[in-house]
Structure 1
Amino acid sequence: MPTSLPSTELRVDFLAKLEDESILHMEFQSFNDANMPWRMLRYYTAIAEKYKTYNIKQLVVYVGNKKLRMKTSLKIKNLVFRYEILDIRQIDCRVLLESPDPMDRLLACLCKVEDEVYLIEKLIKTMESMNEEERKDYLLKALTLTELRPNLRIRLTEEVKHMPIVVRPEDIKLPKRKLKKDILYRLGLEEGKQIGHEEGFIKALQDTVLTLIRGKIGRVPEGVEVKVKGIRNREYLNALIEKLINSGDVLELLREERLLS
């Protein structure tokens, strides 16, 4: 077997020394990574070696949209290793919304949200006291965060379309492969108005419906995509988007709308 092993420069998301002289290590994770226990073990040994301590507290903060499925331990021969995981959706967003810090209110977008309208109102009110550039920067941060919460992103996008803020597609900091699928990009917030002709707008609404279905249940059932792409009525598509946002049973809704047999 080869005697050389892979070696990379490790960089953690957050590291701090606490008052009791222990070290707090945090990682922010947006998707379920089956390799997370091994990653955390590598971080642990690197931190312990550098700072000559074993008094290390490790926490993974899960901010993804899918159900948390990552393990919190690693058990192999001669080694038992554990760390903690916190699903940020366990935190009530109101705790952060009432904070005087505007950045705390942004983070509330990822927490447990029971009233999306109230959350968006708080974000918009936060922006009222900012100048134009500050508002734009704050809005872009909110849109970046809500990429992880598709339903909230749609509501936020609809609200900010009426605000005097110029947001161009190139302002959205996403990889090109993701940008063309992005809800904000498709709805066309450029120079404060929608872009594209009627055909493009219909397609954007169809894609939004499919994105919501996929975000809610993790897939688009067979035959549904063909039926959705056959819908040409803008009013109906907008109504369907609203129903999907508020629906607790997407499959039943699709059956009621005769999109799923």
Structure 2
Amino acid sequence: MSSKDIALKDIFEEIPYRLSRILTPAPIKELLPTNFPSTELRVDFLARLEDESILHIEFQSFNDPNMPFRMLRYYLAILERYPNTPIKQLLVYVGNRKLRMKSRLRLRNLTFSYEMIDIRQIDCKVLLESPDPMDRLLACLCKVEDEVYLIEKLIKTMESMNEEERKAYLLKALTLTELRPNLRIRFTEEVRHMPIVVRPEDVRLPKRKLRKDILYRLGLEEGKQIGLEEGRKEGEVIGVEKGKRIGIEEGRQIGELEFAQKMVITLVEGKLGYVPEGLAEMVREIKDREFLHALIKKLITSEEVLEVLKKELNV
């Protein structure tokens, strides 16, 4: 089971208030077991609604051409357990690519269908205004027109939590935004100064994927903690090379400059698949944070990366 699947299951165990009302035809009466031992099947979400019907929801993060057959197998397993009970099936697509799956299966002696929705059809503001923190979390996957506003709402949500709750919430947000790379980059930049230590084992990614992850690569080198710790306590003094000790403000500025330099290099590599010769050294020579931040925004929003580099850095 992927980390994204785990995060979605954890969120739906708490039944997000507003999203459940968007997705379900009637209020949820009770959650039902999701495993079917006799068939070795497990569904993502299963509940009995107040109208006594059964609701089955599957979350899918990529286009699977075999999805209609999978949904049919789930339907038969549910029907066998709950005979003579109306069953509604809903596939919620949360992937980043265009939805291309079919919601109907037509065979010689069988016609089968289910409902399907791309979660990006839902305006994230609807969920961001919900009193339920889980709704706000799922807003990351919805239609987002103002990423800054969304990130501000998530950070404000975490402010009222204790340390453990805040860390769990942050990890879920980081996991879900793996599906929205540009949002993940911005979100990572905003939360990196939060007094939360996130370690590689917390991210729950295979090692080969972890090394490619934006949080890992923009955080610290392998073997160190993910999540920068400089600037955590006002007035704290941090050490730098050659034993020199400087005040927290200067240390914070150095950390932000290095982070911006790393982000530029990582964005270029992520979009091109390689780093042009000499670019890394050129970027590390840039000491203007405002220029680097402006360059980061252009790289995030532009598909013509080489053109941006040529114009801004004469690469």
Normalised-by-shorter TM-score class: 0.7 to 0.9
**Structure 1 position 228, deviation (Å):** 7.1
**Structure 1 position 257, deviation (Å):** 3.6
Alignment size in residue pairs = 238
Contact 1:62 1:87 in 2 (8 A): yes
Matched, 1:134 2:162: no
Report the CA distance shift for 1:154/1:256 in structure 2 as closer, same or farther (over 3 A): closer
Matched, 1:11 2:70: no
Deviations 1:98-124 (A, max 9, x none): 111111111111111100000110111
Report the CA distance shift for 1:187/1:256 in structure 2 as closer, same or farther (over 3 A): closer
Matched, 1:255 2:307: yes
Work out the CA distance in 1 between the residues paired with 2:277 and 2:114: 44
Matched, 1:227 2:294: no
Work out the CA distance in 2 between the residues paired with 1:106 and 1:150: 16
Which of 251, 266, 276 is matched with 1:207 structurally? 266
Deviations 1:171-223 (A, max 9, x none): 211121211110001111345259x9x99996764333333x3xxxxxx4xxx
Q: For 1:182-193, list aligned pairs within 5 A.
A: 182-188=213-219, 189-190=226-227, 192-193=229-230
Who is 2:240 aligned against? Answer: none
Matched, 1:159 2:190: yes
Unaligned runs of at least 5 residues, structure 2: 1-37, 220-225, 231-251
Contact 1:209 1:237 in 2 (8 A): no
Residue 168 of structure 2 aligns with an amino acid whose one-letter code is D
Who is 2:118 aligned against? Answer: 87
Who is 1:4 aligned against? Answer: none
Unaligned runs of at least 5 residues, structure 1: 1-6, 214-219
Residue 51 of structure 1 aligns with an amino acid whose one-letter code is Y
Q: For 1:56-95, list aligned pairs within 5 A.
A: 56-95=87-126
Residue 297 of structure 2 aligns with an amino acid whose one-letter code is E
Alpha carbon RMSD of aligned pairs, Å?
A: 2.8
Percent of aligned pairs sharing the same letter? 71
Residue 192 of structure 1 aligns with an amino acid whose one-letter code is E
**Structure 1 position 258, deviation (Å):** 4.0
Report the CA distance shift for 1:51/1:90 in structure 2 as closer, same or farther (over 3 A): same
Work out the CA distance in 2 between the residues paired with 1:63 and 1:76: 28
Matched, 1:100 2:131: yes
Report the CA distance shift for 1:191/1:170 in structure 2 as closer, same or farther (over 3 A): farther
Who is 1:3 aligned against? Answer: none
Contact 1:89 1:112 in 2 (8 A): yes
Work out the CA distance in 1 between the residues paired with 2:125 and 2:65: 32
**Structure 1 position 54, deviation (Å):** 5.8
Work out the CA distance in 1 between the residues paired with 2:308 and 2:184: 25
Matched, 1:49 2:80: yes
Matched position secondary structure for 1:227: coil
Work out the CA distance in 2 between the residues paired with 1:56 and 1:15: 10
Work out the CA distance in 2 between the residues paired with 1:243 and 1:228: 20
Report the CA distance shift for 1:228/1:111 in structure 2 as closer, same or farther (over 3 A): farther
Who is 1:28 aligned against? Answer: 59
Work out the CA distance in 1 between the residues paired with 2:153 and 2:104: 38
Report the CA distance shift for 1:226/1:176 in structure 2 as closer, same or farther (over 3 A): closer
Work out the CA distance in 1 between the residues paired with 2:276 and 2:57: 45
Deviations 1:142-173 (A, max 9, x none): 10111111111111110111222222223211
**Structure 1 position 85, deviation (Å):** 1.0
